[in-house]
Amino acid sequence: MIDIKFLRDNPEAVRENIRKKFQDQKLPLVDEVIALDKEYRSAITEADGLRADRNRLSKQIGALMGQGKKDEAEAVKKQVSDNAKRLEELEKSEAELQEKVTKIMMMIPNIIDDDVPIGKNDTENVELKRFGEPVVPDFEIPYHTEIMEKLSGVDMDSARRVAGNGFYYLIGDIARLHSSILSYARDFMIGRGFTYCVPPFMIRSNVVQGVMSFAEMDAMMYKIEGEDLYLIGTSEHSMIGRFIDQIIDEKDLPLTLTSYSPCFRKEKGAHGIEERGVYRIHQFEKQEMIVVCKPEESREWFWKLLQNTVDFFRTLDIPVRTLECCSGDLADLKVKSVDVEAWSPRQKKYFEVGSCSNLSDAQARRLKIRVNGEKGKYFAHTLNNTVVAPPRMLIAFLENHLRADGSVAIPEALRPYMGGMTELRAK
């Protein structure tokens, strides 16, 4: 959510940003919110005047009564009563207008960074850099669930009977591999100076509305029936929510945190031929990184977070590339986002395994996360990035380390977490 003062002073800049995001249907919102804001501020001014009059008139009544001027005092009392009724109307109007302004402001997209490429959708995202040499072996690579099945590591049929489509059982060495990757990711981030956290896996609606747009909420979140609770789609939600209504001392910044959580997503209308198996599912686990920092430091932290993910995948000998999201592919709260994509030897292309995002002060403004600095209070900047999200990452792992005989090599960095195993073989 952008600052209403910025919109008030720079309406054309806000309109141009909306155009860059190809959301022209939102252009009328700018004039609408300006008009409502003007009405809201006018109501505040009139209400403040009436409150001042109330104090002045109350003293006047006392003076008139002291002088024995009862009739004049009664006339002033009537004026005070009339003013009180008007003040009550104004206070009610203030609340209603503020709610309307806030609702519209939450629909207006954040101002994107100047260097974000302009494009309508993800087909116009821009490749930044490749890390590692993508290899296509001289033998056929099966679909990832076939690799897992040969290793007795997955049961999709039972999961469908138990929970429906979009769920899975991981078994044996594959289940151990899944957990080992998460444990390694935890220690990798701790080694980079991040504090490890396990957050709540459910959050209240005010936190949901603080961390994401309404459209994202509807497409992603599972609501707990009968309670003001939602299952988290990523630990970023509850990690940022931790600081709701808090004032952070500037000397404590930056806050660098890495969190583990299960994640639950509806994934509405997102199923296709390459989304069978464990690629796009309703339940998965993830290691995340979160930073809360000063505004002037958020750009630098963005690139640091992105590099952490690249480095993590390279320690596991998986080629990756970074892909900058164009304006039309950016979620409304984000000012910049870069996806990390892993190489798929089977598909002979890259696919998304994580995303790094800078949300500037959008989440902090919604959640009232402020910093107490030398020059006064200001809103913090928040960033997040995926370290790793198995089981999707397992696809890249298995394809890139599969051998011709069906065994899967385990990179050296992961062996301590796999009990010293150097490979996976069918039993």
Residues with a known catalytic role: 265, 280, 352, 355, 392
Separation of alpha carbons 291 and 111, rounded Å: 20
Structural contact between residues 109 and 1, judged by C-beta atoms closer than 8 angstroms: no
Picking from 407, 393, 398, 424, the residue whose alpha carbon sits closest to that of residue 320 is 393
* CB 22, CB 328: distance < 8 Å: yes
**Angle formed by the axes of helices 27-66 and 70-105, nearest 10°:** 160
* Sheet strand arrangement including 255-264: 126-131, 320-324, 336-344, 349-358, 381-388, 283-293, 255-264, 195-197
Taking each helix axis from N to C end, the angle separating 27-66 and 11-20, rounded to the nearest 10 degrees, works out to 150
User: Taking the CB of residue 164, how many other CB atoms lie within 10 A of it?
Assistant: 9
What b-and-e string marks burial along 110-124, b requiring 16 or more CB atoms within 10 Å of the CB? Answer: bbbbeebeebeeeee
Report the alpha-carbon distance of residue 263 to residue 285 in Å, rounded.
Answer: 6
CA distance 120 to 326: 7
Host H or E run for residue 355: strand 349-358
- Structural element, H or E, at residue 9: helix 4-9
Cα–Cα distance measured from residue 33 to residue 36, given in angstroms and rounded to the nearest whole number: 5
